[in-house]
């Protein structure tokens, strides 16, 4: 098997192929899933080796009450393909691992501090991909220019004059529909009172477990606002208030599990709510 593949064992009787897909799609685009329910095992193939490496980060976690063993025949290697070429789009596999961990928490999965620390260490070892850095910087600059003038960034200006910059950004957003583009969550986050902090979270490798929990709360709040303003639920793809998952990956519902705890569960590694 290639470095794009992981093996999962110890799967619960209650787990379906869709449960596995929903769980691992946060790691990156899945190309195929081979699930043997009798043996409680699965082989999952990803489009990128970096996605497989993220999946290995979840080894020892639980899904539907069963502890998962996640292995690979060979160590997946991260590959940075350089700056993103498509405006408003970033592959899930190119996101920082700490950011992906925050998305898991916001969705209602429980991740222990041990797994969150793994995510932080992977970011430190790999660094933040050039694709993601250029994506965030481009978004920050373009929003700043539209709202505040040439050579201005939203995150920087919000730090200087919060109320004024936020109001201007909101006005431009309403006029130009910025919040409806694929970078919706990041656009809103960068122009929020936490703009500078959010940018630092996604572009710096200097993080703590608490930072992941804080970002998860921001994402969960964005989910709630999106759900309350939309007549029907949508996928976590282009155009939603959650960090955009590539439209090429399997669909995942945006609304977080009701009363989901975004605080690390004591003694648990990655527990997903049972889907019925």
pLDDT of 140-179, one tens digit each?
777 655 555 454 554 555 444 545 555 655 665 555 554 4
193 and 101 assigned to the same domain: yes
Task: For CA atoms 78, 84, 90, 96, give the dihedral sign.
Answer: positive
Q: Would the pLDDT of 201 be above 80?
A: yes
pLDDT of residue 123: 96
218 and 131 assigned to the same domain: yes
200 and 104 assigned to the same domain: yes
Q: What does the mean pLDDT of the chain come to?
A: 75
pLDDT of residue 84: 53
CB 115 within 8 A of CB 270: yes
Nearest Cα residue to 4 out of 79, 67, 58: 79
Distance of CA 59 to the CA centre of its chain: 18
Give pairs for 206-210: CB < 8 Å, separation 24+. Answer: 207/98, 207/120, 207/123, 208/120, 209/113, 209/116, 209/117, 209/120, 209/264
pLDDT of residue 191: 73
3-class DSSP state of 101: helix
Residue 189 forms part of a structural domain: yes
In this predicted model, what pLDDT tens digit does every residue of 1-29 receive, in sequence order? 455 999 999 999 999 999 999 999 999 99
Residue 195 forms part of a structural domain: yes
Matching residue, tokens 């993220």: 54
- pTM for the whole thing? 0.75
Structure tokens at 199: 């940018």
In the chain, pLDDT over 90 holds for what percent of residues?
41
Alpha carbon of 3 to those of 24, 48, 115, 229, 271: distances in Å? 16, 8, 21, 41, 25
**Distance (Å, rounded) from C-alpha 161 to C-alpha 147?**
13
101 and 174 assigned to the same domain: yes
Residue 202 forms part of a structural domain: yes
169 and 59 assigned to the same domain: no
CB 191 within 8 A of CB 143: yes
Domains contained in the chain, number: 2
Residue 122 forms part of a structural domain: no
Structure tokens at 139: 């978004």
99 and 64 assigned to the same domain: no
188 is in which domain, residue-wise?
94-108+127-228
Residue 89 forms part of a structural domain: no
User: In 33-76, which ranges are continuous DSSP H helix?
Assistant: 49-56
- β-partners of residue 30 are 46
160 and 62 assigned to the same domain: no
Structure tokens at 90: 């970033």
42 and 101 assigned to the same domain: no
Residue 166 forms part of a structural domain: yes
3-state secondary structure 183-235: CHHHHHHHCCCCHHHHHHHHHCCCCCHHHHHHHHHHHHHHHHHHHHHCCCCCE
In the chain, pLDDT over 70 holds for what percent of residues?
62
The least confident of 58-62, 147-151, 248-252 is 248-252
- β-partners of residue 71 are 7
- Residue ending a domain, among 228, 248, 263, is 228
Residue 156 forms part of a structural domain: yes
Nearest Cα residue to 249 out of 54, 7, 2: 54
177 and 100 assigned to the same domain: yes
- DSSP conformational letter for 166: H
50 and 101 assigned to the same domain: no
Matching residue, tokens 């290697």: 77
13 and 136 assigned to the same domain: no
Q: Would the pLDDT of 93 be above 80?
A: yes
99 and 173 assigned to the same domain: yes
Query: For the domain that residue 71 is a member of, what is the CATH number?
Result: 3.30.70.330
Structure tokens at 197: 């902090």
Residue 241 forms part of a structural domain: no
């Amino acid at each position: 098997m290639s470095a794009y593949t992981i093996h999962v064992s110890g799967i619960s009787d209650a787990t379906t192929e869709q449960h596995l897909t929903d769980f691992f799609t946060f790691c990156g685009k899945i190309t195929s899933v081979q699930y043997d329910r009798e043996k409680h095992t699965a082989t999952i193939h990803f489009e990128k080796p970096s996605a497989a490496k993220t999946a290995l980060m979840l080894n020892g976690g639980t899904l539907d009450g069963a502890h998962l063993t996640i292995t690979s025949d060979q160590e997946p290697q991260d590959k940075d393909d350089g700056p993103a070429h498509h405006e408003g789009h970033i592959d899930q596999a190119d996101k920082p691992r700490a950011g992906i961990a925050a998305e898991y928490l916001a969705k209602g999965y429980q991740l222990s501090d041990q797994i969150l620390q793994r995510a932080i260490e992977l970011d430190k070892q790999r660094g933040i991909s050039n694709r993601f850095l250029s994506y965030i910087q481009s978004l920050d600059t373009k929003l700043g220019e539209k709202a505040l003038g040439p050579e201005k960034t939203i995150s920087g200006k919000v730090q200087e004059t919060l109320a004024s910059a936020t109001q201007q950004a909101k006005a431009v957003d309403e006029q130009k529909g910025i919040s409806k583009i694929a970078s919706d969550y990041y656009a809103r986050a960068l122009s929020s009172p936490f703009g500078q902090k959010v940018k630092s979270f996604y572009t710096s490798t200097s993080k703590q477990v608490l930072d992941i929990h804080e970002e998860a709360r921001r994402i969960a709040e964005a989910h709630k606002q999106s759900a309350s303003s939309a007549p029907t639920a949508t996928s976590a793809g282009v155009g939603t208030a959650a960090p955009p998952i590539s439209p090429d990956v399997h669909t995942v519902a945006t609304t977080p599990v009701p009363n989901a705890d975004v605080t690390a569960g004591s003694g648990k590694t990655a527990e997903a709510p049972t889907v019925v």
